[in-house]
């Protein structure tokens, strides 16, 4: 291995040349300018390469690493690592294939806003683990841990591509320090139900009459908010004894425009639709709702704002016979949560006039879906059937995220165990 070259002093001084006082060596024309020690080596193609360092030890250590990587065939030229995160991220976005056309603008917005804006001018080789950790901490404070976890997966994929393209040797996101700081995409489910059955009854009482049955669709059918908003009376086989609801669409937003779409994760090739049994009491509640508030035909684009128009008779609409907007309804829901004492307001403004509430994500409409799952398990529904009813491909996910203790479940367990003992006796 070659020794570092001293740029500040001549290696072959002539006799009689004056030496510098600091080092007792003959100065070169570069004396005192730039970094003193030059590490020089030849790349795999035979071209001579170099890098300057302030200290001799740093230059020597760099040469040792370069020599090892050349011998092992893992050497990566420095100029490759000079690629900017911005260019790499844009290339990664261009390579993605999106089955759902609404997904592409969401990916683009996340990557450009939260990766390219703060890290775009950083060179790929300069994105060290400590910098990734600092980025994660700031991102979690800005957007919350769950959303930060999603954005982190994008950066991890981008840096994995950098390794595959031989721009860097190691993915900084795979380091131990980053893995320890990595935000969790999913919050751990609480043991207790955030909204129990009695709570849901109280919330229902504080909603307008035209929206009360929404609670029953959530806790009785396990529907997501967008699926409830896109629910049609034509999705239930009313004339059969064993009534079933066909969950086959939802209302979502594509760049600010409401559209019809398949349930979460679905597309035209795999719609992710599902069938959920409808209890007679629930069917009666929905029938009474439809009598008081007849369904309204609504036309929206399919899947994306430029998609073909689709007309559906909706069970739930506004007084103006328009589809429900999640922002509007969430405001009504929070007002009901406050009315029953589940959350508190953080200002004195009136409802509808800028009133704001404390954070209550776990108590929003999705909590009814958790209530449905927990009650179903408590009544003996097996987890595989429950996963099908909820539209989950992995029953383990159902258990991790949707199972909570319900009222009197411990007494039920005690009686069940007792029956086994009495049978054995």
Question: 307 with 214, same domain?
Answer: yes
SS3 state of residue 302: strand
Question: 316 with 272, same domain?
Answer: yes
The tokens for 325 are 């907007």
Q: Show the domain range for 177.
A: 85-181
Distance CA 120, CA 131 (A): 13
Question: 55 with 94, same domain?
Answer: no
The two beta strands, 48-53 and 257-261, are unpaired
Question: 347 with 368, same domain?
Answer: yes
> What does the pLDDT look like over 19-51, one tens digit per residue?
988 889 999 998 989 999 998 888 777 778 888
Distance CA 199, CA 341 (A): 9
Q: In what order do the strands lie in the sheet with 48-53?
A: 5-6, 37-42, 48-53
Q: Which residues of the chain are modeled with pLDDT < 70?
A: 1, 74-78, 186-189, 405-425
pLDDT at residue 424 in the model:
60
> What does the pLDDT look like over 132-177, one tens digit per residue?
999 999 999 999 998 999 999 999 999 999 999 888 888 999 999 9
pLDDT at residue 72 in the model:
73
Q: Which of 79, 107, 90 is nearest to 158 (CA)?
A: 90
* Spatial contact of 313 and 295, defined as CB atoms under 8 Å apart: yes
CATH at residue 302 = 1.10.443.10
pLDDT at residue 316 in the model:
98
pLDDT at residue 75 in the model:
67
Question: 236 with 357, same domain?
Answer: yes
Question: 359 with 229, same domain?
Answer: yes
Distance CA 175, CA 170 (A): 9
The tokens for 337 are 């949560």
Question: 149 with 28, same domain?
Answer: no
Question: 160 with 222, same domain?
Answer: no
Please give the tally of structural domains in the chain.
3
Residue 189 lies in a domain: no
How large is the angle between the packed helices 197-205 and 212-221, nearest 10 degrees?
160
pLDDT at residue 66 in the model:
82
CATH at residue 108 = 1.10.150.130
pLDDT at residue 169 in the model:
85
Residue 395 lies in a domain: yes
Distance CA 230, CA 59 (A): 66
pLDDT at residue 419 in the model:
67
Residue 312 bridge partners (DSSP): 298
Q: Which residues contact 61 (CB under 8 A, 6 or more apart)?
A: none
Q: Nearest-5° angle of CA 259, CA 265, CA 266?
A: 70
Distance CA 232, CA 310 (A): 13
């Amino acid at each position: 291995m070659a020794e570092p070259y001293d740029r500040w002093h001549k290696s072959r001084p002539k006799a009689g040349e004056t030496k510098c006082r600091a080092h007792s060596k003959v100065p070169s024309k570069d004396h005192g300018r730039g970094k003193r020690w030059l590490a020089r080596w030849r790349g795999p193609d035979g071209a001579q390469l170099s890098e300057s360092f302030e200290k001799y030890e740093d230059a020597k250590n760099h040469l040792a690493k370069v020599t090892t990587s050349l011998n092992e065939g893992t050497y990566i030229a420095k100029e490759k690592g000079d690629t900017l995160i911005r260019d790499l991220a844009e290339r990664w976005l261009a390579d993605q294939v999106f089955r759902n056309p609404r997904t592409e603008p969401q990916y683009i917005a996340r990557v450009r806003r939260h990766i390219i804006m703060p890290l775009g001018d950083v060179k790929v080789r300069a994105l060290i683990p400590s910098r990734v950790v600092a980025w994660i901490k700031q991102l979690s404070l800005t957007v919350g841990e769950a959303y930060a976890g999603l954005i982190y997966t994008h950066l991890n994929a981008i840096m994995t591509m950098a390794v595959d393209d031989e721009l860097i040797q190691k993915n900084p996101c795979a380091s131990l320090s980053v893995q320890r700081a990595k935000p969790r995409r999913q919050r751990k489910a609480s043991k207790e139900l955030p909204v129990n059955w009695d709570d849901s009854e109280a919330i229902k009482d504080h909603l307008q009459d035209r929206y009360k049955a929404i609670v029953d669709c959530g806790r009785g059918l396990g529907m997501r908010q967008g699926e409830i908003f896109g629910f049609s009376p034509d999705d239930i086989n009313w004339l059969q004894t064993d009534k079933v609801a066909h969950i086959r669409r939802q209302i979502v937003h594509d760049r600010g425009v409401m559209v019809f779409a398949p349930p979460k994760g679905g597309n035209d090739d795999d719609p992710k639709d599902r069938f959920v049994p409808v209890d007679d009491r629930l069917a009666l509640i929905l029938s009474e709702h439809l009598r008081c508030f007849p369904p309204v035909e609504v036309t929206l684009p399919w899947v994306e704002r430029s998609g073909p128009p689709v007309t559906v008779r909706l069970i739930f609409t506004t007084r103006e016979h328009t589809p429900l907007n999640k922002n509007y309804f969430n405001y009504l829901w929070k007002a009901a949560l406050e009315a029953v004492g589940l959350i508190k307001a953080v200002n004195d403004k009136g409802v509808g006039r800028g009133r704001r509430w404390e954070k209550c994500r776990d108590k929003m409409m999705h909590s009814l879906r958790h209530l449905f799952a927990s009650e179903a398990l408590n009544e003996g529904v097996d987890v595989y059937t429950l996963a099908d009813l909820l539209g989950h491909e992995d029953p383990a996910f159902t258990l991790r995220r949707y199972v909570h203790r319900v009222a009197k479940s411990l007494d039920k367990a005690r009686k069940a165990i007792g029956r086994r003992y009495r049978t054995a006796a």
